[in-house]
Amino acid sequence: MASTRIISSVHRSSLAGLGRMLQAGAYRHARYFILLDENTFTHCLPRLVASVPALHEAEFIELPVGEAAKTIETAGQVWCALMDSGADADSVLVNLGGGCVSDVGGFVAAGYQRGIRYINVPTTLLAMVDAAVGGKTAVNLQGVKNQVGFFHPPAAVCIHPVFLDTLPAPERLSGRFEMLKSQLVGGDAVAAAPWDTALDSPPPASLIVACARFKASVCRADPHDSGVRRILNFGHTFGHALESFLARRGCPVPHGAAVAMGMWCELYLSVGKLHCVDSLLHRYEALVRGLLDVPRITLADTESLLQLMRHDKKCADGTVRCVLLKEPGLPVIDVPLDDNEIRDALLKLHHQLRG
C-alpha cells in the first residue's frame, strides 16, 4: 500500500509545498475536483486556490455540513457528479474540510473507478491530527458510525495551521482531545509537549505536526488495522458508542469530546485490569474536568450503549474489546470487557468528570 506524504510546516507555508507537489510530472496533467462544504467554501477555498496554481481550474463539489454528509446516498451523489463531469482514473480529488469531508472524500475516491488519487487538506484540528491521516475511509449506516468503508490512503495530507484561525472554540477543543489521545498512547514518540498541558489554549504547530506524523507512522506499520494500529482506538470503543447514543438522544457532542469521555472510561478500567496507577487517572480527570458536558447515564442507558458497542469493529464473538493503558506510551490492545465492567465505567462517568 502506498505511503502518504505529510506536507507540513511549523512556519505556516504548507500550501506552497502542495503547489510544488502538484506541478510535478505525476500530477501535471491531472484534472482536479475539490470536495468541500459551505464553511470551507467561504473560509478556506479562496486561500487554497490562491496558493496552489494547479487548482485554479478545479471543479467544486459541495457536501452538507457535518455528519449529515456521511451517508452512502451522499457518496452516490458525489460519484454521479464526478461521472457527469468526466472525471477519469487520473483525476485527483482534493478534500478541503474537517473529518466528515475527508471521510466522505476518501470513501468516494476509493470507490470511483476502483480507486482514484486524493489529497486531504484538513481545516479542523481534529482532521489534521486524526481523520485526514491513515487512509481509513467510511460512512455511517443506520445511525452507527463508520460501518461501511475502505482502506485507501491519501496521496498527501497538507497541514496548514492558518485554517485553524477560523475554527470555533468547541471544535478546537475537540481536536485537542484527539491530540491528547495520541500523546497518551504515543508517549515519548509524541514528545513535543507534556500530555497534561492545559487543553484550552491553542496548540503549537510543532505538536500538531508531531501528532499527525505519529499517526502516519503507526498506519504505515499496520495499514490494514490488524495489529499495532489498534492502539489508535484508545478511547474510541466507549467514545463511538457515546457519540452515537447522544446523537440519537438529540444532544450530539463533538467527536473529540466523546473520545475524551471514552478515554476516562478506559483509563478507569485500566486501573483495575492492568494495575495502571491511580495518579494517571486523577491527572487525566483534573485535565479534562469542566471542559466536557458529561451526560447522566442511567442503568437503562447502559443497555443501549452496550448494543452500540457490540456493533464496534473491535467486538469479536460478541465480546467488547478495547485499548487500555498501563502508562503513557504503553497501551494494550484487544482487552476483553464483560458487561458489568462496561456498566460500571459508564455509570461512574458523570460523577467523576462533571465540572
Within 10 Å of residue 202's Cβ, how many Cβ atoms? 13
Domain termination residue (choose one: 167, 197, 216): 167
CB 334 within 8 Å of CB 230: yes
Q: What Å distances lie between residue 294 and 171, 172, 242, 246, CA to CA?
A: 16, 18, 10, 10
Closest alpha carbon to 137 in 179, 196, 177, 95: 95
CA distance readout (Å), 82 to 85, 112, 180? 5, 8, 37
Q: Is residue 192 part of a domain?
A: no
CATH number for 324: 1.20.1090.10
Q: What is the pLDDT of residue 355?
A: 54
Q: How far apart are CA 104 and CA 46, in angstroms?
A: 22
Same domain, 136 and 257: no
Smallest CA-to-CA distance from 153 within 140, 131, 136 is with 136
Q: 295 in a domain, yes or no?
A: yes
DSSP 200: S
Sign of CA dihedral 355, 322, 258, 283: positive
Residue 129: alpha-carbon gap to chain centroid:
7
140 and 31: one domain? yes
pLDDT value of position 2 = 60
Helix or strand or coil: residue 257?
Answer: helix
> Can you read off the three cell numbers belonging to residue 99?
473529518
CA contacts within 13 A on the Cβ side of 191:
4
Nearest Cα to Cα of residue 199 among 226, 219, 224, 170: 170
Q: Which of 116, 144, 167 is the last residue of a domain?
A: 167
The whole-angstrom separation of Cα 177 and Cα 268 is: 17
SS3 (DSSP) at 61: strand
Is the same domain home to 124 and 257?
Answer: no
Q: What is the pLDDT of residue 304?
A: 95
Answer yes or no: is 119 within a domain. Answer: yes
At how many degrees (to 10) do helices 339-353 and 278-288 cross?
50
Q: Specify the number of domains making up the chain.
A: 2
Tell whether 159 and 234 lie within a shared domain: no
**CA-to-CA separations, 227 to 1, 127, 214, 218, 316, in angstroms, rounded:** 16, 23, 16, 10, 15
232 and 162 in a common domain: no
Q: Report the CATH number that the domain containing residue 20 is assigned in CATH.
A: 3.40.50.1970
Q: C-alpha angle with apex 143: 321 to 311, nearest 5 degrees? A: 20
Residue span of the structural domain in which 333 resides: 226-353
Q: Is the same domain home to 256 and 116? A: no
In this structure, the answer to whether residues 163 and 238 fall within a common structural domain is: no
Can you give the pLDDT of all 355 residues of the chain as single tens digits?
566 788 876 555 689 899 999 998 889 889 999 999 999 999 999 999 999 999 999 999 999 998 999 999 999 999 999 999 999 999 999 999 999 999 999 999 999 999 999 999 999 999 999 999 999 999 999 888 889 999 999 999 999 998 998 888 999 999 999 999 999 999 888 876 788 888 988 888 889 999 999 999 999 999 988 899 999 999 999 999 999 999 999 999 999 999 999 999 999 999 999 988 889 999 999 999 989 989 889 999 999 999 999 987 677 778 999 999 999 999 999 999 999 999 999 999 988 887 5
pTM, two decimals, is: 0.90
CA nearest 47: which of 123, 126, 133? Answer: 123
Tell me how far apart the alpha carbons of residues 268 and 291 are, in angstroms, rounded to a whole number.
18
Task: Assess whether 153 and 246 both reside in one domain.
Answer: no
Per the domain annotation, does 208 fall within a domain?
Answer: no
**CA nearest to 93, candidates 35, 151, 22:** 35
Among all chains, which residue has been given the C-alpha cell 507540513? 8
Of residues 81, 75, 95, 82, the one with CA closest to residue 34: 95
Q: Round to whole Å and give the CA distance between 215 and 159.
A: 14
